[in-house]
Amino acid sequence: MDIILQYFSDFTPLQLQQLTALDAVYREWNEKINVISRKDIDSLYEKHVLHSLSIAAAVDIPAGTQVLDLGTGGGFPGIPLAIFFPEVQFHLVDSIGKKIKVVQAVVEALELKNVTTAHSRAEEIKNRKFDVVVSRAVAPLGDLWSWSKPLLKKAQSGKQKTENDEEAASGLICLKGGDLSQEISESGCAPTLLDIYDLFPLEYFMEKYVVLVTR
């Protein structure tokens, strides 16, 4: 938890309580259903929570935004982002039922009112559109973009600005690592890459990126 407070400080007491509770809740559920590798559970806050929050450090997500976490796995990046942005609505989906069972248990334990979950694939989501799709290392960028496009609201003319006059998040935001040149070339996208090591200069984040694709 201390590593989170090195980079973020403006938390409410409720947010601090929720972030602190993550460790015990994930340890309990990971004993029943392994959603985080045994060697990574002791690095939960660095490798999962802080990694997820690199999106919050890179872009602002305004209140009222509808966000889909596609292939959420154990709830990342969606659950840390939902704690960070309590006025944003998150829908976390995964095609593996036991993972969503854990995610739903974490949501209930933390009493996250801004999160819904579903055992679903992207192509099974009907009659619903989102402002932002987030994802963490689920699939190649081209696949993520093809799944995301039908689920994204149409781009507005002119960029929406936040209260701080920052550009509001929109489109696909994914977390990826390594040499992405071939993956980007094959995707047909023209993404913006933000180096997470510039945000959090820790060895774990070397060659890890926040990848932004807008419509």
Domain-located, residue 199: yes
- pLDDT, position 157: 43
Domain of residue 140 covers 2-153+165-213
- pLDDT on residue 118: 96
What pLDDT score does 156 carry? 56
Distance of CA 27 to the CA centre of its chain: 20
Annotated binding-site residue? 76: yes
Q: How many domains does the chain have?
A: 1
Cβ distance 33 to 98 under 8 Å? Answer: yes
Summarize pLDDT for 148-185 with one digit per residue, the tens.
Answer: 999 999 865 444 545 544 556 789 999 999 999 999 99
> Do the annotations mark residue 122 as ligand-binding?
yes
In angstroms, the Cα distances linking 50 to 4, 116, 175, 204, 205 are: 6, 22, 12, 11, 10
158 marked among binding-site residues: no
Q: Is residue 160 part of a domain?
A: no
Asked if the structure places residue 12 within a domain, the reply is yes
Please tell me whether the peptide bond between 77 and the residue prior to it is cis, using omega within 30 degrees of 0.
Answer: yes
pLDDT at res. 138:
82
Is 159 part of any domain?
no
Please tell me whether 97 is known to bind a ligand: no
Q: Which residues of the chain fall below pLDDT 50?
A: 157-159, 161, 164-165
Distance from C-alpha of 205 to C-alpha of 173, rounded to nearest angstrom:
17
pLDDT in tens, 121-135: 998 998 899 999 999
Predicted TM-score of the model (pTM): 0.93
Handedness of CA 116, 120, 122, 128 (dihedral sign): negative
The CATH number that applies at residue 30 is 3.40.50.150
pLDDT of residue 154: 83
Residue 176 lies in a domain: yes
158: in domain: no
Whether residue 112 lies inside any domain: the answer is yes
